[in-house]
Amino acid sequence: MVFPLLPLYLTMELGAGGRIVGLVEGAAEAMASLLKVVSGIWSDRMARRKPFIFFGYGLSSLAKPLFALASTWPLVLLIRITDRVGKGLRSAPRDALLAESVPEEIKGKAFGFHRSMDGLGSMLGALIAFWLLPVLGYQKIFLWSVVPALFVLLAILPLREVKAPASGLKAEKSSSRRLFRLRDFGLLSPVLKRFILAAAVFSFGHFGYAFLMLKAGAVGASEEQAVLYYILFYLVYSVFGTPAGILSDKWGRRKLLAVGYAMFALISFGLIFAATQEWVLAGFLLYGLFFALIDGAQRAYVSDLAPEHLQGTALGIFHTATGLAVLPGTFLAGLLWDGPGPEATFVYGAVLAVAAFLLLPKASLER
């Protein structure tokens, strides 16, 4: 309910420009990313995932209604960062729990289904916001977002961990008080490190749906139409998330990610020339398909390549590396938007997607 409205609230209600949208989104994701590696390692050491998941979702749930009190963009930034701290606490332990809860042969399907359900929730929330925006306005919608947020916590309470994270770390806890040791990173394979580098480069150029919504406004879409485009993007993402995960199990993660990165480059290139709402709508739909291809597959690929007892650590490093790339990336995208123009933002995204495609590990190196 909240996230599709924030770029519009910042630009149309608070008078912020593209660079502020980029700063808010990037800073929030960077804060989350700094915590993801910590929570991932910590959950490996504790051999527990559920506490991080519960408190992470709880903090985000309490933060969202506070947007109703934000009358300036710095307050929006502060609340957005608070919300993303919750994401930083939960993401890596949640993904590790998911990887540990399913057989290896359907891991991609499991991650794809999880991302589809996440997308379905985003789509339904945006649909509610679309219906209520003309009636309630931004502030009241932000306040009402606390209701579904509470149901999230009720759903987590009966969650049962299928198995503890694998052996090694519990025995090591007493030997070192340091949360992170370089030796942990050294246990990750060269293939996994190269993939994390490629994913970070891609994230640096992945300008995200916020700039697609700004593009919709630039070609004449109203606030309600822009939110509707967002809903359609998440509809496509939700429909194709599970099939994409199944395809990654059968066809291979690396191949699917290569297709996804190349597809994003083509979408970015096409948006340079999109001058009508119809073309921008097509961009939203294709963006949903691209995101479905890579979102679950990236997480499953990291899990495939990580040692069994370092699932949380590997996923945390992946989330941190890709998330930290978002802050300078989205801020630069905003500067390009406000300076040379939207076309420069999309050229930038296309170039970085091609670079990430070239950095992907060679298929012959995969285990």
**169 occurs within a structural domain:** no
Task: Let me know if residue 11 belongs to a domain.
Answer: yes
Residue range of the domain that includes 193: 3-157+184-365
- What pLDDT, on a 0 to 100 scale, did the predictor assign at position 171? 40
Q: What token pair was written down for 312?
A: 């949380």
Does any domain span residue 345?
A: yes
Residue 25 lies in a domain: yes
pLDDT in tens, the chain (367 residues): 888 788 888 888 888 877 788 788 778 777 788 888 889 988 888 888 999 999 999 999 889 889 999 889 999 999 999 998 998 999 999 999 999 889 999 999 999 999 999 889 888 888 888 888 888 889 899 998 888 888 888 888 888 886 655 544 444 443 445 555 555 666 788 999 999 999 999 999 998 877 888 888 888 888 778 878 888 888 999 999 999 999 999 999 999 999 999 999 999 999 999 888 889 899 999 999 999 999 999 999 999 999 888 899 999 999 889 988 887 888 898 889 888 988 999 999 999 999 999 999 985 455 4
Which residue, among 107, 307, 40, has the nearest Cα to 191 in the 3D structure? 307
> What dihedral do alpha carbons 12, 233, 28, 40 form, nearest 10°?
170
Taking residue 68's Cβ as centre, other Cβ atoms within 10 Å add up to 19
**What pLDDT is recorded for position 364?**
43
Q: Tokens standing for 331?
A: 């801020």
User: Is 111 among the domain residues?
Assistant: yes
What is the model's pTM?
A: 0.81
Cα angle 99, 241, 87; round to 5:
55
DSSP state of 219: T
User: Is position 340 within any domain?
Assistant: yes
Predicted confidence at residue 168, as pLDDT, reads 45
| Residue 167 included in any domain | no
**Residues 6+ away with beta carbon under 8 Å from 222:** none
Tell me, what DSSP letter sits at residue 165?
S
Total domains present in the chain: 1
Residue 10 and residue 138 in contact, taking contact as beta carbons nearer than 8 Å = no
Give the count of alpha carbons within 13 A of 2, CB side only. 24
CATH of the domain at 261: 1.20.1250.20
Instruction: State the Rg of the chain over Cα.
Output: 20
How much is the pLDDT for 174? 39
Residue 178 falls inside a structural domain:
no
Through-space distance between the first and last CA atoms of the chain, rounded to whole angstroms: 41
